[in-house]
Amino acid sequence: MTQTNLPSENVAGYIDSYYTRTSQAQPARAPLKGLVEADVCVVGGGIAGVSAAWELAQRGKSVVLLEAKRIAWGASGRNGGLLSSGFAASTGSIRARSGQKAARALHDLSHEGIRAVLDNTRNLALPGVDPIAGVILASRHPDTEGLKAWQREANDVLGENLDYLPPDKMRELVKSERYFDGMYDPDGYHIHPLNYCLGLAENLVASGGQVFENSSMTAMNTSGTEKVVKTENGTVKARHLVLCGSGYGGHEFGRVHHAVLPIATYVISTRGLGDRIGDIMATPAAVADTRLSCDYFRVTPTGELLWGGGMSAMAKEPENLTEMMKARVVEVFPQIADVEVDVAWTGLMGYARHKMPYLQEVQPEVWTATALGGHGLNTGPALGKVLAETIAENGKRHELFAPYGLRWNGSFAGAIVADTICAASNFAHRRKER
Ligand SMILES: Cc1cc2nc3c(=O)[nH]c(=O)nc-3n(C[C@H](O)[C@H](O)[C@H](O)COP(=O)(O)OP(=O)(O)OC[C@H]3O[C@@H](n4cnc5c(N)ncnc54)[C@H](O)[C@@H]3O)c2cc1C
């Protein structure tokens, strides 16, 4: 595993966050000991790994899931909770590389990911996921023409249902002088992502899957028809191997590791706002601004403001994280300048250079479903479905991801380039805001 200087872990083996403070109680699952055999071994228990294992088990495959720490200990249990369509890559870049028809198929698949989360939450009665409908895209500078063009393309070409929000409507919903106009996406949601992954993993076990926590893959031997995965005290032998380590995976993932760039991003949650929620929001929807390194926020079902933003491939955890993030809140909502921050945390997103997820067979019967970027809550479940169709049903939809093969992450230089692109984009945006 990659070593990071992320916040120290709390007693349950998770970092301290809004999510761990409000998660459904989950007994730790025993580490792997001895030899276990299965059709498929999935490595990495984030939303990609749990979804893949779940979908495979639903198709009759015997599955072992190995997680180095706890289920959804990584990005999947500490993100912003926004569940919306699309990918980290822009629709324009996807169309340019995939062509119009495949771009639409990919977009539809990204919706399937949302549907999977909503259906699983309802059909399995997953506790504490609490999906809330609505995501607002907010522009920090007047951009009527740009937003309307975006809306036309999204609605006419991709089948979205975006509503344009003129400035007066925008400010009625989100009470900030920082935003001008925006768009409302009725098909986006926000959820408690840790509870979703925990609930799905529990159902995976109930349907015969084997889940081992604190079971880091230390090595893999993929040369034979039987793949062999080693942990400190155990061995898994399986016909198929699925690698889902994302930004937290290390050299044990072989060349997949060198194709994923870990990028840190930051979140805080405040004390409960009580009646003061009405001072900032008149909608239960989540909000994200239109910058590359955007702010995204939402009021949780328990009344806290959960705010995410910033990203860096170099600065994994800024020293003044709480102050830095609170300044972002106050810039948008000066009316709650005295709000207290309860907890601040960071997480690593795994990115490919093309910003699309990897769904690739890296060797015969060795797959990776990873690098979901900042858009994993829908794409993780979508990839899980496609992967399971491929392995269990000879499905072909993985071919949609053929143009997005493994590319070297550029190592240290890749991190510098990523931060430079982000800084340049922020600078350009600030000029528009003047
Ligand atoms: C702060 C933050 C905010 C975000 N906000 C949003 C959002 O609002 N909406 C959205 O859609 N996306 C968001 N994202 C992105 C989203 O969280 C990720 O894309 C997604 O969770 C990635 O899932 P994953 O399963 O690929 O990786 P992860 O969840 O990171 O899981 C990888 C797992 O692999 C395990 N692992 C690593 N090495 C080994 C090993 N050797 N053996 C076994 N296990 C191993 C790790 O312990 C980890 O649990 C955000 C991400 C962050 C960090």
DSSP 4-57: --PPPB-TTSSB--HHHHTPPP-PPPPPP-EEEEEEEEEE--SHHHHHHHHHHH
Angstrom distance (rounded) from CA 13 to CA 20: 10
- Tokens found for residue 76: 């999947």
Residue pair 79/85 in contact (Cβ under 8 Å)? The answer is no
Angstrom distance (rounded) from CA 23 to CA 195: 6
Residue pair 266/417 in contact (Cβ under 8 Å)? The answer is no
What pLDDT does residue 414 have?
72
User: What length does the chain have?
Assistant: 434
What pLDDT does residue 1 have?
38
Helices and strands in the chain, H and E counts: 12, 17
Candidate from 15, 217, 246 with most ligand 1 atoms within 8 A of CB, to mutate:
246
Angstrom distance (rounded) from CA 318 to CA 26: 30
β-partners of residue 64 are: 41, 210
pTM of the model: 0.95
Q: What is the DSSP secondary structure assignment for residue 1, as one 8-state letter?
A: -
What pLDDT does residue 5 have?
34
Q: How far is the CA of 313 from the centre of ligand 1 (A)?
A: 15
Residue 196's identity, in one-letter code, is Y
Angstrom distance (rounded) from CA 287 to CA 117: 20
What pLDDT does residue 94 have?
97
What pLDDT does residue 11 have?
45
Candidate from 70, 244, 257, 387 with most ligand 1 atoms within 8 A of CB, to mutate:
244
Q: How far is the CA of 26 from the centre of ligand 1 (A)?
A: 19
What pLDDT does residue 127 have?
96
Phi, psi of 397 (to 5 degrees): -70, -15
What pLDDT does residue 226 have?
96
Residue pair 310/328 in contact (Cβ under 8 Å)? The answer is yes
Q: How far is the CA of 191 from the centre of ligand 1 (A)?
A: 15
Angstrom distance (rounded) from CA 255 to CA 2: 14
Residue pair 94/104 in contact (Cβ under 8 Å)? The answer is no
Query: What is the block-wise mean pLDDT of the chain (434 residues), using blocks of 10 residues?
Result: 41 88 88 98 98 98 98 97 97 96 98 98 98 96 91 95 96 96 97 98 97 98 96 98 97 96 95 95 96 89 95 79 95 96 96 96 97 97 98 98 91 70 66 65
Calculate ∠ Cα 4-7-12, nearest 5°: 110
What pLDDT does residue 294 have?
85
Candidate from 76, 114, 378 with most ligand 1 atoms within 8 A of CB, to mutate:
76
DSSP strand pairing (234-243 vs 227-230) = antiparallel
Q: What is the DSSP secondary structure assignment for residue 291, as one 8-state letter?
A: S
Sign of CA dihedral 429, 430, 433, 434: negative
